Structure 1
Amino acid sequence: MRKSRFSEEQIIGILREQEAGRPTADVCRKHGISGGTFYKWKSKFGGMDVSDAKRLRSLEDENAKLKKLLAETMLDNAILKDVTSRK
């Protein structure tokens, strides 16, 4: 997946600008993002603090590692079953 050019802290700052009363179109134009991107960020990061966003990122990373471990284990099990069934 492509790395965003904005960090979580910057995204939350952009969302706070709009919450402070600036029109969404102005905020998007100022930061060079589309309206779709803004609303996608708002659905993911809306109402979060910076610490919440960092916690979310660490949980997503941990979840990805666990999924990878599970996939590798399932592959190993499938290979072992295949080898034992041939004998």
Structure 2
Amino acid sequence: EAGLPTAELCRKHGLSPATFYKLKARYGGMDLSDDRHWNAIGPRDNGDAAEAAEDENANLKRLVADVMLYNAVLKDLLGKP
């Protein structure tokens, strides 16, 4: 739906423009390489691989939770089960 005016896109999906812009501000630039989600992943200076793996797991769980919330919000806004 790229290229549609924002007002038309919102009307088509039953969104208010305010909600659209709020979601766009929060998730519009999300990318898998985004440092906000991946900055703590990687081995630590002390070489503790188990601790680094635990940190990576925690970060991935937070990322999955964020994506699940975003998905739920979009489904709710679009009226999908």
TM over 0.5: no
The structure with more helix, counted as a fraction of residues: 1
Greater C-alpha radius of gyration: 1
Name the TM-score, length of structure 1 as normaliser.
Answer: 0.38
Name the TM-score, length of structure 2 as normaliser.
Answer: 0.40
